[in-house]
Amino acid sequence: MRRPRLLLLTLALLQLLVLFSCHGNQGGDEGDEADIKATETPVTFTRISRGALSQLVSMNARSSFMKKNALKSSVNGYVVRADATQGQWVRAGQTLFVLRTREAQAIGAEAGKLDSTLGFSGTITIKAPQDGFISELFHQTGDYVQDGEALCTIADKNSFVFLLEVPVELGGLVKLNTACTVDLPDGRKIPGEIISMLPTVDSASQTQGYVIRLRGVFNLPENLLAKVQLPRQEAARATILPRAAVLSDEGESSFWVMKLVNDTTAVRVPVTTGMVTGDSIQILSPPLSDSDRILVTGNYGLDDTATVRIKNQ
């Protein structure tokens, strides 16, 4: 009787040992899976895009009237009436000044003492020779002026342009008869065209002027500073990635991207970069496929052949 009982007890102990062993192995597997998940880096990826890309350089431009006429006195005398004010818009033939000669003033022409039979009143009328703005005013009523002295300056509205100031070393970037955009200080963007080059260089700044004619009529003041952006480099069909996808060393001497080779592994791929504009960067080499998945977040600090977990699959 004792031997069957001992046998049953032994079998029961063996079953308990097997159960404990199974539970222990199951806990070890779960721990291993947790450790693996802990080493995975959560990432998101993007794909390359292809399109036109240009790198721009910003230059200063200043508004100016290319044609200005100085309205001059034709006699030595006095200004008895001035109908001109600075900034006024005038029409061709409009009377702006009335002058009286010094001789007529001396003999009392203002009191009607001159003999009318002489056919001379001593009064001279000065009229605007063209349409435009009075940009400068030099004399008012009561002033004494000499023959040939400027009374005012009339700026021809049709000659309003922007003068683009281009450093001599960047002159090759400017192409005549091409469109451009003038960025005003108030945020407005005005279309224009580069039509000609001035034959002189500023000795202090070593910049050469290019004339930009605006497309449209705008009421803008002279000497207004604006910005014009010209393309330094252009590519019609560039391989483009977001800047966040391209990593570099501290000295920015080498660049690379992290590319997914499967759903859990990312490898480092050295790249050569080109133009950088805004949030886009051009990849010159190696050739990348439209189907390549390039990490855009979670890529910083990853080692080659890093284990990752995709978040945006």
Other beta carbons within 10 angstroms of residue 305's beta carbon come to: 10
Mean pLDDT, residues 12-40 taken together: 56
Mean pLDDT, residues 182-201 taken together: 95
Over 50: is that where the pLDDT of 282 sits?
yes
State the Cα angle at 117 between 113 and 121, rounded to 5°: 55
Identical fold for domains 57-65+158-234 and 68-155, yes or no, is: no
Over 90: is that where the pLDDT of 197 sits?
yes
Give the right CATH number for 68-155 from 2.40.40.20, 2.40.30.10, 3.90.1150.10, 2.40.50.100.
2.40.50.100
Domain 57-65+158-234: CATH superfamily is Efflux pump adaptor protein, beta barrel domain (2.40.30.170)
Secondary structure (H, E, C), the chain: CHHHHHHHHHHHHHHHHHHHHHHHHHHHHHHHHHHHHHHCEEEEEECCEEEEEEEEEEEEEEEEECCEEEEECCCCEEEEEECCCCCCEECCCCEEEEEEEHHHHHCCHHHCCCCHHHCCCCEEEEECCCCEEEEEECCCCCCEECCCCEEEEEECHHHEEEEEEEEHHHHHHCCCCEEEEEECCCCCEEEEEEEEEEEEECCCCCEEEEEEEECCCCCCCCCCEEEEEEEEEEEEEEEEEEHHHCEECCCCCCEEEEEECCCCEEEEEEEEEEEEECCEEEEEECCCCCCCCEEEECCCCCCCCEEEEECCC
Could you read off the pLDDT of 125-142 as tens digits, one per residue? 999 998 888 989 999 999
Q: Which of 34-43, 91-100, 147-156, 206-215 has the lowest mean pLDDT?
A: 34-43
Q: Which residue has the tokens 């790198």?
A: 55
Map out the domains of the chain as residue ranges: 41-54+236-310, 57-65+158-234, 68-155
What top-level class would CATH report for the domain 41-54+236-310? Answer: mainly beta
Band (pLDDT 50/70/90 cuts) for residue 181 is very high
Distance CA 208, CA 194 (A): 13
